[in-house]
């Protein structure tokens, strides 16, 4: 299970302090030291850990805790609040364009789960928001990727726009949007090309699509299993494309949690969704508070 090690350690730390009728600065010091180690071991970015611990410390020795009747529990609440804030606080919504269709561009490295997430997101928009999306195959370098999207379209019984591997991605995107207008598809989800590593050619192509198409959302799909790499990837994509949100995939695996806990702080972009399995209905809106509760037990 994801976050297992982190959850175990934090819950152990919490147990020690929960029942305390009095919490001394020494208790807070010990608790924050353990929380710090647990977070670092879960591969959370060290700068993020430093800031988080400073905030927890400040609040934990402050009035709200020291003057509380249940200081032990109050300390835990502080840790939970701060973990929630770290992951973005409020749950963040998906954009709706003033004029239909709303255009979402999916970006990310190969293997992160971009194409699968494109299908999952379309399914989510239809099921939860009663929308009628068009999927667009803009990965012109890999015929297998186009095929994969077409298969997803068939499984979902949703239209897929493709011009094969010969056309230019900007043209494909523009023609897809024109078709969506004609056929009353209210969302257009563009599956772009991925590479094994962040590279200039890829970024240039994505920037061209962005400049021309002006998407309402740019979602970066990252694999939560890759830990700090996921955070670095998110930083580069955000610098180059000014993404609007992140989808964290493979949270059903045994990820240590570093990516989930660092990405918002490092990029200042919200985690919008979490991939919880390979199936098309295994995408969940990301709720920072629920995630913090899951980690703290």
Binding residues for ligand GDP, per CB under 6 A?
A: 108, 110-116, 194, 249-250, 252-253, 275-278
CB of 266 to ligand GDP, least distance (A): 21
Residue 18 CA to its chain's centroid (Å): 31
Least Cβ distance, residue 253 to ligand GDP (angstroms): 6
Nearer to ligand GDP, 113 or 227 (CB): 113
Question: Among 159, 160, 180, which residue's Cα sits nearest to residue 100?
Answer: 180
Which of 187, 273 has the CB closer to ligand GDP? 273
Which residues make up each annotated binding site? 108-115, 191-195, 249-252
CB-closest chain residue to ligand GDP: 275
Q: Which is closer to ligand GDP, CB of 24 or CB of 147?
A: 147
Kind and range of the H or E element at 160?
Answer: strand 160-161
Give dist(CA 241, CA 292) in Å, integer: 29
Q: Quick check: 44 and 262 in contact, CB under 8 A? A: yes
Alpha carbon distances (Å) from 95 to 100, 186, 215, 263: 11, 12, 10, 20
3-state secondary structure of 249: strand
Q: Which is nearer to ligand GDP, 42 or 233 (CB)?
A: 233
- Answer yes or no: are the C-beta atoms of 109 and 233 closer than 8 Å: yes
Q: State in angstroms the smallest separation of the CB of 192 from ligand GDP.
A: 10
């Amino acid at each position: 299970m994801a976050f297992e090690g982190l959850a175990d350690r934090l819950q152990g730390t919490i147990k020690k302090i929960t029942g305390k009728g009095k919490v001394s600065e020494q208790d807070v010091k010990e608790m924050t030291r353990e929380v710090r180690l647990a977070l670092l071991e879960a591969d959370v970015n060290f700068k993020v850990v430093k800031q988080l611990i400073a905030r927890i410390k400040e609040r934990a020795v402050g009035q709200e805790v020291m003057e509380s009747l249940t200081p032990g529990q109050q300390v835990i609440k502080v840790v939970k609040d701060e973990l929630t804030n770290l992951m973005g606080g409020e749950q963040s919504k998906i954009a709706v364009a003033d004029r239909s269709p709303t255009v979402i561009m999916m970006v990310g490295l190969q293997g992160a789960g971009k194409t699968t997430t494109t299908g999952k997101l379309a399914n989510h928009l239809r099921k939860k928001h009663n929308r009628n999306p068009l999927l667009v195959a803009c990965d012109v370098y890999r015929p297998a990727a186009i095929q994969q999207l077409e298969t997803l379209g068939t499984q979902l019984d949703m239209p897929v726009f493709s011009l094969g591997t010969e056309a230019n991605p900007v043209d494909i995107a523009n023609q897809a949007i024109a078709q969506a207008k004609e056929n009353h598809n209210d969302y257009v989800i563009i599956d772009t090309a991925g590479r094994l590593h962040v590279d200039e050619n890829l970024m240039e192509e994505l920037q061209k699509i962005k400049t021309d198409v002006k998407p309402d959302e740019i979602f970066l799909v990252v694999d939560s299993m890759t830990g700090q790499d996921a955070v670095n990837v998110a930083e580069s994509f955000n610098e180059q494309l000014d993404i609007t949100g992140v989808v964290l995939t493979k949270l059903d695996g045994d990820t240590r949690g570093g990516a989930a806990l660092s990405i918002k702080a490092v990029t200042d972009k919200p985690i919008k969704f979490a991939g919880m399995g390979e199936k098309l209905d295994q995408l969940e809106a990301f709720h920072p508070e629920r995630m913090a509760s899951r980690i703290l037990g």
